């Protein structure tokens, strides 16, 4: 990997960092997707929806996320020179300020997601005898242990990206074993009578549309990471492997997500699932086979989240590193150590995770609260990627000698864009307002980066967008302060 000079420009080095092969890229995608989310899916999906609405929600998610996966595959093939994945595509299509916001939103989504992982992993530990003091993962002992684990990962990654990626392959394989056992055992215990009970939801859950909307942030949450290989495109041995890793990860993950959530509805009814403590797969397997089932799934979650935290710490630090490297974020974030690890981006990222862990201790935020906030931060970056795919297909940019493929990719981009707009609608105003509280401070980083390069900070249109972000952020902050809005 290249070292960076003070202004963020690349400088040649004597030796190249080992590149990531298809197996390592696929493991990054799978590990990011099959993490804490799948272990909590039964409760998260059943909290506000019946079986019928959940099926519809998964059908919408399948089509939408498949289109997004195709978008990332297309962009990797048509725009191999664009680095940074989600952030790089937004910047290439919509200019530096929108590119910055995509990087900023994706980055915040990643590290808030990491906070939720630390919460749920110690919630799982609390199920073991003698460890009840970890509670829901947000008690003082849990936060102290989370902090130790956080900085252990930090120093591991500082020793080099390649070594951390290899450890991630091992944990990815290890986590699939308890999930495979879960699916087999729950399939055996499945009862169609239980599955059909209140199939379209009880009256208090609202209309079918309301129920479907309630599942959207959860299904999007478990798919955050679908773009994981594209984030590491600059480290891939072959650019073609980026698209392959994305599609392999998607296919494996969607089958497991749907199976876990729907088979659970045949073991426990919707109200029973909604009342479970997370990780709710433990409660489902306990109902199916007894106490040892809960122990198995809690242990599986600990392994799963352990691997996912490594993958997501890598992903979270990579975005500000690449943005600092090309000047969209301040240059200090683009620095690496002798091992090629993005030390400054990593330190800032994990420092904010530490801060939010402390905040969680005092405000009692639970796993579901944190995941919904994290998901809301990534909706705009995903939409911008889909719109960029539409843009290059219309212009036939990168389609030299393959004009026929442009029409197909245009249709995919349009469907992915419609899905992105649907997600913004389904999220509702609450989480969009909360996301503005976190988007608005990013302007300070953007101004610093532009000033470092002696460039004009905003165009006229960008000034308007920045003003709207600040205004909405102030409104949301005031509502938080007065109690009118809560996380």
Its sign, for the CA torsion 143, 341, 109, 215, is negative
Weakest mean pLDDT among 74-78, 315-319, 437-441? 315-319
165 compared with 14, residue with greater pLDDT: 165
Q: 385, 37, 72, 437: which is closest to 217 by C-alpha?
A: 37
Q: Which residues lie across from 11 on neighbouring strands?
A: 3
pLDDT for the residue 347: 95
Instruction: Compute the average pLDDT of residues 101-116.
Output: 88
Q: How far apart are CA 107 and CA 84, in angstroms?
A: 12
Q: Examine the pLDDT at 80 and tell me if it is beyond 60.
A: yes
Which pair of structure tokens corresponds to residue 382?
């995903």
Q: What band does 322 get if pLDDT is binned at 50, 70 and 90?
A: confident
Q: What band does 239 get if pLDDT is binned at 50, 70 and 90?
A: confident
Q: Examine the pLDDT at 274 and tell me if it is beyond 90.
A: yes
Under DSSP, is residue 277 helix (H, G, I), strand (E, B) or coil?
Answer: coil
117 compared with 141, residue with greater pLDDT: 141
Residue holding tokens 């620095």?
335
Q: What band does 11 get if pLDDT is binned at 50, 70 and 90?
A: very low
Instruction: Compute the average pLDDT of residues 108-119.
Output: 87
In angstroms and rounded to an integer, the radius of gyration of the C-alpha atoms of the chain is 22
Which pair of structure tokens corresponds to residue 66?
């498949």
Instruction: Compute the average pLDDT of residues 91-103.
Output: 90
pLDDT for the residue 6: 29
24 compared with 199, residue with greater pLDDT: 199
pLDDT for the residue 169: 64
Q: Which of 74-78, 133-137, 335-339, 349-353 has the highest mean pLDDT?
A: 349-353
Instruction: Compute the average pLDDT of residues 113-120.
Output: 86
Summarised one tens digit per residue, pLDDT across range 331-360 is: 999 998 888 888 999 999 999 999 989 988
Q: Examine the pLDDT at 5 and tell me if it is beyond 60.
A: no
Instruction: Compute the average pLDDT of residues 269-296.
Output: 92
pLDDT for the residue 12: 35
Summarised one tens digit per residue, pLDDT across range 31-41 is: 767 767 888 89
Q: Which CATH architecture has domain 22-430?
A: Up-down Bundle (1.20)
pLDDT for the residue 273: 95
Instruction: Compute the average pLDDT of residues 476-486.
Output: 82
Averaged pLDDT score across all residues of the chain: 84
181 compared with 221, residue with greater pLDDT: 181
Q: How far apart are CA 374 and CA 351, in angstroms?
A: 17
pLDDT for the residue 15: 42
Weakest mean pLDDT among 30-44, 66-80, 279-293? 30-44
Q: Examine the pLDDT at 162 and tell me if it is beyond 70.
A: no
Q: Examine the pLDDT at 17 and tell me if it is beyond 60.
A: no
The per-residue DSSP string of 72-128 comes to: HHHHHHH-TT--STHHHHHHHHH-HHHHHHHHHHHHHHHHHHHHHHHHHHHHHHTTS
Summarised one tens digit per residue, pLDDT across range 359-398 is: 888 876 666 677 777 888 888 889 999 999 999 999 988 8
pLDDT for the residue 470: 92
pLDDT for the residue 447: 94
Query: Domain residue spans in the chain?
Result: 22-430
Q: Examine the pLDDT at 10 and tell me if it is beyond 50.
A: no
């Amino acid at each position: 990997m290249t070292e960076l000079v003070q202004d963020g420009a690349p400088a040649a080095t004597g030796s190249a960092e080992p590149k990531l092969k298809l197996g390592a890229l696929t493991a990054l995608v799978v590990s990011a997707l099959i993490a804490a989310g799948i272990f909590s899916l039964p409760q998260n999906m059943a909290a506000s929806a019946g079986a019928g609405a959940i099926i519809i929600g998964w059908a919408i998610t399948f089509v939408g996320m498949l289109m997004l996966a195709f978008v990332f595959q297309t962009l990797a093939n048509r725009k191999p020179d664009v680095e940074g994945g989600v952030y790089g595509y937004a910047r290439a299509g919509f200019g530096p300020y929108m590119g910055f916001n995509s990087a900023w939103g994706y980055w915040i989504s990643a590290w808030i997601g990491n906070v939720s992982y630390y919460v749920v992993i110690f919630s799982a530990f609390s199920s073991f005898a003698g460890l009840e003091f970890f509670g829901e993962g947000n008690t003082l002992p849990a936060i102290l242990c989370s902090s130790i684990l956080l900085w252990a990962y930090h120093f591991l990654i500082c020793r080099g990206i390649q070594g951390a990626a290899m450890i991630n392959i091992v944990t990815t394989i290890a986590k699939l074993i308890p999930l495979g056992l879960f699916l087999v055992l729950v399939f055996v215990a499945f009862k169609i009578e239980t599955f059909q009970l209140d199939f379209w939801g009880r009256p208090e859950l609202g209309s079918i549309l309301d129920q479907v909307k309630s599942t959207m942030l959860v299904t999007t949450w478990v798919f955050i990471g679908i773009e994981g290989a594209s984030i590491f495109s600059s480290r891939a041995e072959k650019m073609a492997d980026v698209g392959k890793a994305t599609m392999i990860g998607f296919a494996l993950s969607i089958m497991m997500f749907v199976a876990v959530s729907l088979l659970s509805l045949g073991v426990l009814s919707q109200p029973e699932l909604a009342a479970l403590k997370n990780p709710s797969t433990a409660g489902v397997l306990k109902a199916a086979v007894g106490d040892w089932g809960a122990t198995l799934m809690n242990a599986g979650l600990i392994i799963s989240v352990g691997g996912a935290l490594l993958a997501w710490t890598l992903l979270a630090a990579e975005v500000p590193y690449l943005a600092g490297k090309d000047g969209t974020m301040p240059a200090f974030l683009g620095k690496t150590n002798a091992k090629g690890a993005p030390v400054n981006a990593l330190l800032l990222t994990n420092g904010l995770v530490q801060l939010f862990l402390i905040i969680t201790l005092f405000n009692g935020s639970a796993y579901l609260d944190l995941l919904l906030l994290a998901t809301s931060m990534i909706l705009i970056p995903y939409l911008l990627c889909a719109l960029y795919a539409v843009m290059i297909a219309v212009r036939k940019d990168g389609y030299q000698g393959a004009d026929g493929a442009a029409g197909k990719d245009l249709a995919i981009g349009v469907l992915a864009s419609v899905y992105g707009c649907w997600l913004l609608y389904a999220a509702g105003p609450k989480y969009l307002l909360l996301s503005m509280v976190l988007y608005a401070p990013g302007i300070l980083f953007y101004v610093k980066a532009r000033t470092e390069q002696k460039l004009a900070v905003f165009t006229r249109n960008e000034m308007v967008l920045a003003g709207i972000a600040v205004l909405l952020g102030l409104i949301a902050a005031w509502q938080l302060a007065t109690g009118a809005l809560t996380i």
